[in-house]
Amino acid sequence: MSGVSLAKDNVSEADEFMKLDQLLRQSSQLFGDRPAVIDPERSINHRQLGEAANQFAEQLRRLPIASGSRIALLMENCVDYVVAYFGILRAGFVVVPLDTSANGETLRYILDNCEVRVLIAQSRYRRQLKSVFDGGCGVDYLLCDSILPVGSTALVKIKFGDTMRLDSILPELEPREAGPSEIIAMTRNGKSHELAAIFYTSGSTGTPKGVMLSHLNLVSNTQATVEYLKLTEIDRTLVILPFYYIYGNSLLLTNVACGACLVIDNRFMYPETVLNTMEEQKCTGLSGVPSNFMILLGKSTFASRKFPHLRYFTQAGGAMAPDVIRSLATAFPDKEIYIMYGQTEAAPRVTYLPPQQLTAKLGSIGIPLNGVAVTIMDENKLEMPSGKTGELVVTGDNVMMGYWRQPEEQEEVLQDGLLFTGDLGYKDEDGFIYIVGRKKDIIKAGGNRVSVKEVEESIVSHDKVLEACVIGVADPLLGEAIKAFVVMKPGLELEERELLRHCQRMLADYKVPKYFVVVDSLPKYQSGKINRQLLKQQTP
């Protein structure tokens, strides 16, 4: 893992820092009887959550694996996920959340890449688990809610029940030596970082890359996010984003940290059901990616409901078109709308737009969180003046430790504690930041550089359009031509020439798509973000 100076167990007593499990310890003491997690099956308060995490941690410590070993989670959002997450951290191990929509080959790569010793999974993912172990996997222990016929005879299988209570480890098993500590730590700017979690994201080479986040990364970002969202113990957040996704992980940590309640509903494919849950549970907050809000506004009764207890919305996970923001603000003029920006590599939050600035600074991603700085730099790493476009470069305690065993990709984005985001933008005269596109989301059409973000926002501004995704396709004349995939609002139709005229009114000629394709839906990750790479692969 070159590019970052890592050492094992080099954190001195003088450099003590808060660890993630201390967030739960505090909430258990201060808000014990208040609800912590509600899922469709059961609920748990903060004291019970703390006790369950303690019990699970004690059982994990019985396994003969070294401190700092990686333990992976393949679970849907539920009470057990939260117990397991904090139990892993409390026991002194590193948590590796796994994308439950990933195929067996991808999961096996991740498990082998970061040398996961223990896999905690639900039997609902038995097909992926069979693929993982049929292909050969080095995991030593499989903890599951039932004993599945997967894996070799060398694999130890342990069943768990409610709130992650494990069956006793069989006494006839010969315990393995735990070995020396595997805790990974480093010091940056005089502050200590100890590895807490590894979140895998797609890499530029197509191979997943493991983002190493420390306790300091996640705790500092959690505290800053709680501050600007004004979260307290009376808040109840509706969770539709998976916890393995860094945005979902942020919801988990921020709500636990302040004694608030996570209301889990994994049924977003049925929007009305989710909205009913939000009403019945008197939720005060809803967080989503752009497609979540587009679907709610375009394919449900969302805009006609009142939600008297709702205080705020948060949006991140990609740019949301100004027209969608306007629609949300029009439907809910009395609610606070937080437009946010971040990256997994930043743990994740970087900026937020204060709700009172939503109209004046429409299209902006706002200002940095406390403890985070954003500089707009040119290709020579020189700061750009207001109004000039450059790359967003982030510094702060939230910047990742590095990529797990991906030194080349790491050196591209992390240099001397500076996180080069790959996003292009500028600051206005008031210091508010605007993104114009990504370095890698630029189409070179006829020698002109075109931002896909600008084209997509122009298409979505048409009142019949629900969603759009723009890609570049090979073209013998232009080199790259712009191709737009468009999803219409329910019951509406739109001819290609109408779309073309609309774009011609909105965009310079070289930015107008050459091809328009109306589709029923766009491929998405389970988090709700559009899977642009898959769309490119499916396009001849």
The lowest-confidence range among 102-106, 128-132, 488-492 is: 102-106
Question: The dihedral of CA 411, 413, 419, 420: what is its sign?
Answer: positive
Residue with tokens 């990529």: 403
Beta bridge partners of 44: 37
**Cβ–Cβ under 8 Å, residues 72 and 141:** no
413 in any annotated domain: no
In the chain, how many domains are there? 2
* pLDDT computed for residue 179 by the predictor: 72
Please state, rounded to an integer, the average pLDDT across all residues of the chain: 91
404 in any annotated domain: no
- Side chain identity, residue 77: N
User: pLDDT, tens digit, for every residue of 375-399?
Assistant: 999 989 999 999 999 999 999 999 9
Domain termination residue (choose one: 170, 192, 214): 192
> Taking residues 337-362, what's their average pLDDT?
97
* pLDDT computed for residue 276 by the predictor: 98
Q: Residue 221's closest CA among 89, 369, 344? A: 369
Q: How far apart are CA 99 and CA 79, in angstroms?
A: 17
Phi (first) and psi of residue 253, to 5 degrees: -70, -45
User: pLDDT, tens digit, for every residue of 402-419?
Assistant: 999 999 989 999 999 999
User: pLDDT, tens digit, for every residue of 221-235?
Assistant: 999 999 999 999 999
Domain termination residue (choose one: 156, 174, 192): 192
* pLDDT computed for residue 181 by the predictor: 87
172 in any annotated domain: yes
* pLDDT computed for residue 4 by the predictor: 35
Please state, for a pLDDT cut of 90, what percent of the chain lies above it: 76
Please state, for a pLDDT cut of 70, what percent of the chain lies above it: 94
Domain of residue 172 covers 13-192
* pLDDT computed for residue 11 by the predictor: 37
* pLDDT computed for residue 318 by the predictor: 81
Q: What is the CATH number of the domain that holds 82?
A: 3.40.50.12780
Domain termination residue (choose one: 192, 218, 234): 192
Q: Residue 373 corresponds to which tokens in the numbers above?
A: 């700085």
Q: How far apart are CA 535 and CA 524, in angstroms?
A: 9
pLDDT at 8 over 90: no
User: pLDDT, tens digit, for every residue of 201-259?
Assistant: 875 445 789 999 999 999 999 999 999 999 999 999 999 999 999 999 999 999 999 99
464 in any annotated domain: yes
* pLDDT computed for residue 171 by the predictor: 45
Residue with tokens 């990742």: 400
Question: At 192, is the pLDDT very low, low, confident or very high (cuts 50, 70, 90)?
Answer: very high
80 in any annotated domain: yes
114 in any annotated domain: yes
348 in any annotated domain: no
Q: What is the CATH number of the domain that holds 461?
A: 3.30.300.30
| Residue with the larger pLDDT of the pair 388 and 101 | 388
Question: At 1, is the pLDDT very low, low, confident or very high (cuts 50, 70, 90)?
Answer: very low
pLDDT at 5 over 50: no
User: pLDDT, tens digit, for every residue of 289-305?
Assistant: 988 999 999 999 999 99
Can you state the percent helix, strand and coil of the chain, rounding each to 5? Answer: 30, 30, 40
pTM of the model: 0.85
> Taking residues 164-182, what's their average pLDDT?
67
529 in any annotated domain: yes
